[in-house]
Structure 1
Amino acid sequence: MSTSSDWITVGALADGFAPEAFILPNLADLDGKTFTLHFANGWQIEHRFEQDTLSWNAADGHSSGTAPYRATSVRPGLYLVDFIKREGELTSSISLVLDTANAAFTAVIGRMPSQEQTGEGLYSRALTGKPLTSVQAQFLHGSLDRPWQPGLCPHAPTTELVGLRNLYRYSPSEVYEHIYLNDQFYSWQCLKGVEQGLCDTDRCDTYKIADQLYLFVWREKIIPTLGLVLIDLQQHRSDGKIFGYAGESFDEFSNFPVSSYCQVLNQTEYPDA
């Protein structure tokens, strides 16, 4: 059990979450399928899925590769695909929300800070107008297997979680609480588990994917961490991953699945909002 001063690495967090974790199965639904992702920014990248790996190939030839992937689904017609993309010295976390019902997608590209960036103090970052976290997350949208046109992707930023207090049980031993403060910040605390007693307020982004289904992404500032989950308030389930450096060095990454049974504790309504 941790005390309020025991911050741990993402690798240690993965070890804590692993026993009896409530993770969703890695689906074989996409095996043998190919999707061409037409990005709103003009990119066109083909993704071909096999049993254990996916291959990507950009139309301009500037990006191609193969990587193991995880694919899950919290609702019919919606897939969360997650993999690590390594090109040269650059390692990126790639998460795709494939919305086959609407022939649309949202991509989240995450990157960890360099060792030099992690050495910047929070005070220095605040005074220079930088976000307190040095973890990067880029959100891109587009259409599946059809040329992009404005309006084809219905996924949009939302404040519908603001005021919500939600409990997440990731395993019999790991329980967290989230409080969604506004469109940029949320607070979390570990009620039970390897981070018990720890809490913080961090940067976040929330996109509405469907009715009562949200893509929630957070970026932590103490231990560089990117968290990404789909939260289904209808099914009371969440599914996603946590990405960061595995240990205290900067040469190995941890990218592990997290799924939970979640429940709303209360909803705060602000009278002057």
Structure 2
Amino acid sequence: MSNEAVYIPVGELADGFARESYVLPAVAPHKSALLLHFPAGGKLSCRFTGDAMLEWNHQPAVPCRITAIRDGIEFIDFVDTQRRSSTLTLICDHHRGCFSLVSGQLPSEQQIRLAAFSRIEQGLPLTGVRVEIRCGRLDGPCNPDSPLHGISPDLIGMRNQYRYNPHECYEHVYLNANNYAWHCLEGVEKGLADVDRCHTIKITERLYLFIWQEKIVPTLGVVLIDMAQLRSDGKILGYQQHNLREITNFAMGAQVSVLNVTRHRE
């Protein structure tokens, strides 16, 4: 009998992804300050201060990572120091003047140890990882005809392969609007596979913001997938070890291959 694959803490996953990683290099911010306007009203401000530091909504500056998978499209990611085990990821489309903001939070130990059947009984989602996605306009109020990022079905039916470095390779199957399957073909999670909650936001033509929430080992993934350049870049958030004392929020990027596309009959 072959040995069954074992789930590992996210810190060990980060170590595997870090070797000869295909992440994009960091870039300078497109603008020194941003003002985010939401459709229902309300605004948030951010200002870049010094080398890779960000003041978020007048809070003390924190380190951030900024990449640009395309010119004028920024991926800005940082740990949210105002909430426990949380991050914020801001996707800025400076061509169309709009943004998507992803707020993510890992579950507490009590939430993690709640059994799957108990979650079903209580009407809770199977994953304890929480996500909020808000879209809006940059540096100007939202009007009824203002273009905004939106939910997209474009990835549904695709089976893609993602190579994160010479040692780590996964496949994704996008099943429907809310679920995708992942399978580690090579690397520290080789043989592991699952179906998890996901969200897909279209940023612009053939460029998607893909977000997933894993339920077994609490994990949040936020990644831009560029189907024109066939590459991705983003981050993964999780607890460093199974003792749940520290979080890890690490960068990852991949070379993308489309293996096949399935279209179901309506």
Query: Which TM-score bucket, shorter chain as reference?
Result: over 0.9
Q: Matches of residues 188-207 of structure 1 in structure 2 within 5 Å?
A: 188-207=182-201
Q: What is the TM-score of this pair, normalised by structure 1?
A: 0.93
Q: Matches of residues 181-192 of structure 1 in structure 2 within 5 Å?
A: 181-192=175-186
Distance 2:97 2:3 in 1: 47
Distance 1:108 1:22 in 2: 23
Q: Which amino acid aligns with 1:143?
A: R
Q: 1:147 aligns with which of 125, 141, 144?
A: 141
Aligned to 2:235: 241
Q: Cα offset for 1:57?
A: 2.3
Distance 1:90 1:190 in 2: 29
More displaced 10-residue stretch of structure 1: 98-107 or 42-51: 42-51
Q: Cα offset for 1:224?
A: 0.2
Distance 2:123 2:29 in 1: 45
Q: Cα offset for 1:151?
A: 4.0
Distance 2:3 2:180 in 1: 22
The answer as to 2:231 corresponding to 1:232 is no
What percent of counterpart residues are identical?
44
Distance 1:206 1:13 in 2: 23
Aligned to 1:18: 18
Distance 1:43 1:91 in 2: 25
Contact 1:245 1:254 in 2 (8 A): yes
Aligned to 2:81: 86
Aligned to 1:27: 27
Distance 1:147 1:206 in 2: 24
Q: Matches of residues 1-273 of structure 1 in structure 2 within 5 Å?
A: 4-30=4-30, 33-50=32-49, 51-57=51-57, 64-87=59-82, 90-272=84-266
RMSD (Å), alpha carbons: 1.5
Contact 1:104 1:153 in 2 (8 A): yes
Aligned residue for 1:125, secondary structure, equals helix
Q: Which amino acid aligns with 2:34?
A: F
User: Which stretches in structure 2 are left out of the alignment for 5+ residues?
Assistant: none
Contact 2:100 2:149 in 1 (8 A): yes
Distance 2:53 2:265 in 1: 50
Distance 2:147 2:76 in 1: 17
Q: Cα offset for 1:26?
A: 0.7
Aligned residue for 1:240, secondary structure, equals strand
Deviations 1:14-61, CA, capped at 9 Å, x for gaps: 01111101110011244x611111122433121111322011225xxx
Q: Cα offset for 1:132?
A: 0.5
User: Which stretches in structure 1 are left out of the alignment for 5+ residues?
Assistant: 59-63
Aligned residue for 2:80, secondary structure, equals strand
Distance 2:86 2:145 in 1: 27
Distance 1:264 1:151 in 2: 34
Contact 1:33 1:49 in 2 (8 A): yes
Distance 1:3 1:42 in 2: 55
Contact 1:156 1:209 in 2 (8 A): yes
